[in-house]
Amino acid sequence: MYWTLELASKLEDAPWPASKEELIDYAIRSGAPLEVTENLQEIEDEGEIYESIEDIWPDYPSKDDFFFNEDEY
């Protein structure tokens, strides 16, 4: 399983919180790349509910990780 920023961003609008099955269903319905669905299927699931993409990929960058001044735009 590997995540990239591009792949993980396909789940930003997913219906959080969600189960593994709900996320797979969302990825298929939203037309996400096949790699997203494959990554989700590889998650060892014990019936967990995921609150956000960070629960799946802890390294997913948040808005705080980007260094730009929103007031300038």
Please tell me the pTM assigned to this model.
0.81
pLDDT at 68 > cutoff 70: no
Residues 6 or more apart whose CB falls under 8 angstroms from that of 51 comprise 16, 17
What is the spatial distance between Cα 14 and Cα 21, in angstroms, rounded to a whole number?
Answer: 12
The 10s digit of each residue's pLDDT in 6-32 is 999 899 899 999 999 999 999 999 999
**pLDDT given at position 47:** 85
pLDDT (0 to 100) of residue 63: 58
- What CA–CA distances, in Å, run from 32 to 23, 26, 35, 46, 51? 11, 8, 8, 24, 19
Question: Contact, 39 vs 2, CB < 8 A?
Answer: yes
